[in-house]
């Protein structure tokens, strides 16, 4: 008997684009490139499909998970610092034309939340997923249902300052790199974590400030939704010491108020696995 077709999954984030062939939770092939900083999504997607041309014929549907919001197949940024894309880019139509098969599109963190809920640290319990990376994304799964639309966009919470900054602009990878600049010019978030591990005080302070803010967010999420689990992912969220710092910041809380924090288990595949499963179920968000 011929093998079942796989799903082509594309996870297009602020930092990287990951394409994968996925069957169930198994990731059969991957292709990863840095997200371009120039051009537009039509060009990025064309280049990506050129690079994976050899996969043609092995998939019969596509799932696309993107940083930003997807409404009726149109993709827009909420925070252009995370990724600057034109308003209402026709994502579903563009990918359908490139692939020749049906397409389901959703937000990247919501897709990853579904992946972790179904196959990872969510254990199919009520959960909130938080990815701390270029921005802060989130997804909410309650009573077995993934909430779509704006739900979970915790990184977009506004702060009460003159510029009405977003929470993610004070916590995520961009912020960490910016804070590090006076201490180590041009340092990336990854280098800040390395400096913190090596005992540099300035770096430790930056990581702890970010983790404390994320801890406060988790605490507020617990009060809003009372999930069984909060699963933390993303390159910052999973960097050495970050979850430990979140837990330290929550340690004094009374038990009933304390979130149950877990590291994401699917790593960078959470989005591609999640969107493949959603595409399989034809689950419109
Ligand atoms: C931002 C927002 C979210 C996204 C999150 C994480 C944009 C372009 N993105 O909050 O939709 O889920 O960043 O994105 O407005 P990542 O690229 O850091 O994974």
Domain boundaries, the chain: 6-108, 121-264
- 240 burial (CB, 10 Å; 0-12 / 13-18 / 19+) is exposed
User: Which residue is closest in CA terms to ligand 1's atom 6?
Assistant: 137
CA of 270 to the centre of ligand 1 (A): 15
Q: 145, 163, 165: which is closest to 155 by C-alpha?
A: 165
> For 151-202, how does the pLDDT look when each residue is reduced to its tens digit (9 = 90+)?
999 999 998 777 778 999 889 988 999 999 999 999 999 999 999 999 999 9
Which two tokens mark 145? Answer: 């249902």
Question: Strands 16-23 and 6-12, how do they pair?
Answer: antiparallel
Which pLDDT does position 15 carry in this prediction? 86
Measured in Å, residue 16 CA sits from the centre of ligand 1 at 12
The dihedrals phi and psi of 15, each to the nearest 5 degrees, come to -115, -45
Closest atom of ligand 1 relative to the 69 alpha carbon: 11
Ligand 1 centroid – CA 151 distance (Å): 13
Distance of CA 82 from the midpoint of ligand 1 (Å): 6
Condensed to tens digits (0 to 9), the pLDDT of residues 231-275 reads: 999 999 999 999 999 999 999 999 999 999 999 999 989 999 999
The pLDDT value given to residue 14: 87
CATH superfamily to which 6-108 belongs: ATPase, nucleotide binding domain (3.30.420.40)
Ligand 1, CB cutoff 6 Å, lining residues: 13-14, 67-69, 77-79, 82-83, 107-109, 131, 133-137, 153, 155-156, 168
Q: CATH number of the domain at 121-264, out of 1.10.10.60, 3.30.420.40, 3.40.1280.10, 1.10.357.20?
A: 3.30.420.40
Other Cβ atoms within 10 Å of 221 Cβ, number: 19
Q: What is the pLDDT of residue 48?
A: 97
Q: Which of 12, 36, 66, 79 is the best mutation target for the ligand 1 pocket, counting ligand atoms within 8 Å of the beta carbon and taking the most? A: 79
């Amino acid at each position: 008997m011929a093998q079942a077709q796989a799903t082509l999954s594309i996870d297009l984030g602020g930092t990287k684009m990951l394409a994968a062939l996925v069957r169930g939770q198994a990731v059969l092939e991957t292709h990863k490139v840095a997200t371009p900083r120039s051009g537009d999504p039509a060009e990025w997607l064309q280049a990506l499909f050129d690079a994976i041309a050899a996969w043609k014929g092995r998939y019969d549907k596509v799932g696309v998970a993107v940083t930003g919001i997807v409404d009726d197949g149109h993709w827009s940024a909420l925070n252009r610092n995370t990724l600057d894309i034109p308003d209402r880019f026709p994502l579903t139509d563009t990918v359908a034309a490139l692939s020749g098969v049906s397409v389901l599109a959703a937000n990247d963190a919501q897709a990853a939340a579904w992946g972790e809920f179904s196959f990872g640290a969510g254990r199919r319990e009520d959960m909130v997923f938080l990815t701390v990376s270029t921005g802060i994304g989130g997804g909410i799964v309650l009573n077995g249902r993934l909430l779509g639309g704006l739900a979970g966009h915790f990184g977009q919470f506004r702060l009460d300052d003159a510029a009405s900054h977003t929470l993610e602009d004070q916590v995520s990878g961009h912020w960490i790199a910016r804070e590090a600049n006076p201490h180590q010019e041009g340092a990336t978030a990854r280098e800040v974590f390395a400096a913190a591990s090596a005992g540099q005080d300035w770096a430790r302070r930056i990581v702890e400030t970010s983790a404390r803010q994320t801890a406060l967010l988790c605490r507020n999420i617990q009060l809003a939704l009372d999930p069984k689990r909060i699963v933390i992912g993303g390159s910052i969220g999973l960097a050495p010491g970050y979850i430990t710092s979140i837990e330290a910041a929550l340690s004094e809380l009374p038990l009933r108020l304390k979130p149950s924090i877990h590291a994401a288990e699917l790593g960078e595949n959470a989005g591609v696995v999640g969107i493949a499963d959603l595409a399989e179920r034809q689950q419109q968000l």
